[in-house]
Structure 1
Amino acid sequence: MSAIVSPQQTVATSSTELKGRWIQLALGVLCMMAISSPQYVWALFTKPLLGQVGGSLAQLQVTFSILIVLQTFFSPFQGFLVDRFGPRLLLSLGALLTGLSWVLSANAHSVGHLYLTYGLLGGLGTGIVYVGVVGLMVRWFPQRRGFAVGMVAAGYGFGAILTTFPIASSLASVGYAQTLTLFGYIIGAVGLIAAQGIKRPPSHAAMLSGHPAQKSAGVGPGAMLKTPVFWLMFAMMTMMSTSGLMVISQMGAFAKDFGVASVLVWGMAALPLALTIDRFTNGLTRPFFGWVSDRIGRENTMALAFGLEAIAMFAWLGLRSDPLWFVLLSGVVFFGWGEIFSLFPSTLTDTFGIRHATTNYGFLYMAQGVGSILGGPIAALVHQSTGSWVPVFGMMIGLDMAAALLALFVLKSLRARYMAAR
């Protein structure tokens, strides 16, 4: 005779299983830290790689563009694979591809070889892990999505802090080839080991929360892409990605033009000091505003954070010749920007549910790729045509304020109507 399981026993079992979500969060953070270096320490490799593979700096920088574009534009497909074949297998594959991209890049003798190794393999590998981990956390933490996604996104932001100085030291002592090989093995091994403990939450876990998003648990990407609320979120994430990636890609150039790059602040040159502070605030803001949004609402938090970045960039531009304010306000700018990687995936899953969360976020994450184009080469062309950074900053401030107002006065009501209709 088969055993009969009571509802009370099911809830008790589910509660026990959910205690393991903190382990899943820790493993997710570790996976994200492992794959962060290809993006954040690329600048350390440009000079030695240029001497090895030849070509121009512009040609070499295409490698970085390929990395980011493939990481974002292929994310819907990567998210589908994670949903289809499970997180452990795909995250393991992503970690191995990321590590392999560095190992193979160590033997590159042409720019085209780097495009295929560091760019292609690295972009696919990091994209699988990033989208997979984010999609998993929104399922494990149905009532704390903002905080959980913020924590793993912070892992991606903080991870390079641990590797930047060791990689710089290794480059100085043994050269780029051995450095890429050694850290490629480390990246692949750490990510692979962490991925072995990753698993899906129990199918009934989200139901325990009583979260209202369960009413829309079955919305897939096909239906989602037909809704105005998704495209509004896509436009807003593009706006915010553009402003933040403009600063990331152009900061060295405008710091030099402002005359503050090499000025000492607290005994350090202003530009590297600002970059160090930026990495910290860019990581800190993700769990912080994610936690805030779990309490005061997603749209209210968006308006607060996006408005903060707009104000900080306005003050940054006005005080651009003061090296101390340049350093301090750069940190505030990133504190108002990095939270997009916790707020948008949380809002998306709140709206369209958990069943297709990973694939759905893959489509939204493509906005980051669009922002990298607008904030990188397009912003540079605006500066080139005008001969000034003021119009560029003005455009970015306008995008930040528009996103803040859209969150408060359009997205909030539009999303409420959509969820009420479902």
Structure 2
Amino acid sequence: MTAAHAVPRPAPEGLRGWVTVAAAFLSMTVVFAVAYSFGAFFAPMAAEFGSGSGATSVVFSVTACCWFLLGSVSGRAVDRFGPRPVLLLGAATLAAGLILTSIVQHLWVGYLTYGLGVGIAVACGYVPMVAVVGAWFDRRRALALAIAIAGIGVGTLVGSPLAAAVIAVQGWRQTHVVFGVAGAALLVLCAIAVRRPPAAQGAPALPIRELVRTRAFRSMYAATFLASLGLFVPFVFLPTYAAAAGVPPVAAAALIGVIGVASVLGRLAIGAIADRVGRIRMFQASFAVFAVSFGIWLVASALPALALPLLVAFAAVLGVGYGGWIALQPTVVAEMYGVRGLGGIVGLIYTAAGFGALLGAPLAGLIIDATGTFGWAIAAAGVSALAAFASLLPLPASG
């Protein structure tokens, strides 16, 4: 299946489309500022509940699994009902989940309150908005999606350092309340601003049964699963690793922010370049950069005297590769299958990321607990990332 399957009438790329891009940018900033700040909560929560690395990392893994698995539901919901009710649901679950997490007395309860609350919120603020922006644009789709998805990078930049600073003053429980109330209010603003795109013209979306039989879908699904096994290891463990290497806590948390800055730059630059030199080639290149980054982290683990500069380099390279991957995947999907039902297709592919997120960080935590070192976990994440790149090689070079 190629882009010739469904060639919609050029989408209107006017003011309403760009307002929707701004709303999508803000919604992704909010939900990922919360989700990717978990590394700052990791140590104080583990200390209070007396849990190990594996058990504590399950909180984040359940969250990521929820948002990716439920993305297939929220993506289809936005195709049917539009973005506004979906965003309002996300606001409600974000506030409820974080406020409830602030009063839990057992870690396993946090799996439910945080995992479902934040997981549903991200599912509502991410995949649906990607689909809406993709349907508003045609000629400048890669750039528009890159700008919108850059909100993930901004959220990554501000979330973890902000959480670390507030935790230092208020404690982790009150910080959850602050994040829940503020985040919900901003999502309501996004719901007010967002506009539903005009109905796409052209051939209808492929039925799921036919979609999953295509080689391109299988390649992207496998690559997304394998890359996600490695992706969430640094988001959960990098601040803890850096602190153990002697980096001050706020600076250690700020490494997640470096990933965010680099991912913003990667999304914008790669998104703009991809519209000119080929979206699929740039998509594959992003995975290659992502895989290379884990080699830098391994070098940092072998050279503790240079830990901080090497960790900054790792975070920057990881961010560029990860940013390009996330920015271009919806564009590649639209190029392959058209924009009809884009939310459902992107959400279906992201179920692979849900399975990878559920397994990756807990397995890394078990390896760390068993070996007493981070090295083997880092190596395993790097191998998964390299396998993800190899999985994309069958994609056609055009596009």
User: Which TM-score tier does this pair reach, normalised by the shorter chain?
Assistant: 0.7 to 0.9
Quickly say closer, same or farther: Cα 1:141–1:398, change in 2 above 3 A.
same
User: Counterparts of 1:87 and 1:278 in 2: how far apart (Å)?
Assistant: 28
Instruction: Choose the corresponding residue for 1:238, options 225, 248, 268.
Output: 225
Residue 65 of structure 1: CA displacement?
Answer: 2.1
Cα distance in 2 for residues equivalent to 1:64 and 1:263: 23
Partner in structure 1 of residue 320 of structure 2: 335
Amino acid at match of 1:56: S
Give a deviation string over 1:270-312, Cα, whole Å, max 9, x none: 7445333222113322232222222211221123222233344
Q: 1:410 aligns with which of 391, 394, 397?
A: 394
Within the candidate set 203, 226, 238, 1:251 is matched to 238
The Cα shift of 1:250 comes to 3.7
In 1, distance between residues paired with 2:363 and 2:42? Answer: 22
TM-score, normalised by the number of residues in structure 1? 0.80
Partner of 1:298: 279
Judge conservation of contact 1:71–1:123 (CA < 8 Å) in 2. Answer: yes
Residue in structure 2 matched with residue 221 of structure 1 by the alignment: 208
Specify the SS of the correspondent of 2:355.
helix
Cα separation, partners in 2 of 1:411 and 1:276, compared to 1, 3 Å: same
Q: Please state if 1:173 is matched with 2:158.
A: no
1:204-251 Cα offsets, whole Å, 9 max, x none, are xx56xxxxxx5x553243431232221111111222222322333343
From 326, 337, 354, the equivalent of 2:339 is: 354
Letter in 2 for 1:202: P
- Structure having the higher Rg: 1
Of 73, 78, 97, the match for 1:77: 73
Distance 1:397 1:60 in 2: 22
Report 1:379-398 matches (<5 A): 379-381=364-366, 392-398=377-383
Partner of 2:39 in structure 1?
A: 43
Give the structure 2 partner of residue 134 of structure 1. 130
Q: What's the Cα RMSD here? A: 3.2
The offset of 1:120, in angstroms, is 1.4
Q: Quote the offset at 1:357 in angstroms.
A: 0.5
Q: Is the 8 A contact 1:310 1:397 kept in 2?
A: yes
1:82 CA displacement: 1.9
Shift of 1:87: 0.9
Q: Distance in 2 between matches of 1:165 and 1:379?
A: 23
Match of residue 277 from structure 1: 258
Q: Which amino acid aligns with 2:298?
A: L
Q: Distance in 1 between matches of 2:373 and 2:296?
A: 17
Q: Is 1:145 matched with 2:141? A: yes
Counterparts of 1:27-176 in structure 2, within 5 Å, are 27-49=23-45, 54=49, 56-57=51-52, 58-176=54-172
8 Å contact kept, 2:58–2:111? yes
> 2-side partners of 1:140 and 1:126: how far apart?
21
Q: Structure 1 unaligned segments of length 5 or more: list them.
A: 1-10, 208-213, 417-422
Is the Cα contact below 8 Å between 1:237 and 1:344 reproduced in 2?
A: no
Structure-2 separation of matches of 1:72 and 1:31: 16
Contact 2:263 2:320 in 1 (8 A): yes
**What's the CA shift for 1:369?**
1.7
| C-alpha contact 2:71 2:128 (8 A) present in aligned 1 | no
Cα 1:370–1:112 shift into 2, 3 Å: closer
State yes or no: 1:182 paired with 2:169. Answer: no
> Match for residue 372 of structure 1?
357
Q: How far apart are residue 84 of structure 1 and its match?
A: 2.0
Aligned length: 386
Instruction: Tell me, yes or no, if the aligned pair for 1:240 and 1:337 is still in contact at 8 Å.
Output: no
Give the superposition deviation at 1:117: 1.9
* Identity %, equivalent residues: 26
Mapped to 1, the partners of 2:87 and 2:99 lie a distance apart of 19
Whole-angstrom distance in 1 between the partners of 2:299 and 2:363: 23
User: In 2, Cα distance between the equivalents of 1:93 and 1:71?
Assistant: 13
Q: Answer yes or no: is the 8 Å Cα contact 1:302–1:404 preserved in 2.
A: no
Q: 1:232 touches 1:411 (CA, 8 Å); kept in 2?
A: yes
Deviation at 1:394, TM superposition (A): 4.8
Report the Cα distance in structure 2 between the residues aligned to 1:367 and 1:247, rounded to whole angstroms.
Answer: 19
Question: What's the offset of the Cα at 1:269?
Answer: 8.6
What's the CA shift string for 1:131-172, capped at 9, x where partnerless? 111111111122233222222222122125345454444433
CA distance in structure 2 between the partners assigned to 1:176 and 1:380 by the alignment: 21
User: Deviation of residue 347 (structure 1)?
Assistant: 0.8
Structure 2 contact 87–124 (Cα < 8 Å) conserved: yes
2:157 maps to a residue whose letter is I
Secondary structure, aligned partner of 1:411: coil
Distance 1:96 1:64, change over 3 A: same
Structure 2 residues not aligned, in runs of 5+: 1-8
Aligned to 1:200: 196
When residues 220 and 353 of structure 1 are mapped into structure 2, their CA distance, relative to the original with a 3 A threshold, is farther
Q: Quote the offset at 1:358 in angstroms.
A: 0.5
TM value normalised by structure 2: 0.84
Change (3 A) 1:330 1:125: closer
Q: Structure 1 residues 365, 112: CA separation in 2 closer, same or farther (over 3 Å shift)?
A: same
Distance 1:241 1:112, change over 3 A: closer
Q: Which residue identity is paired with 1:87?
A: P
Q: Which moved more, 1:92-101 or 1:243-252?
A: 243-252
What does residue 4 of structure 2 align with? none
Q: Which has the higher contact order (CA 8 A, sep 6+)?
A: 2
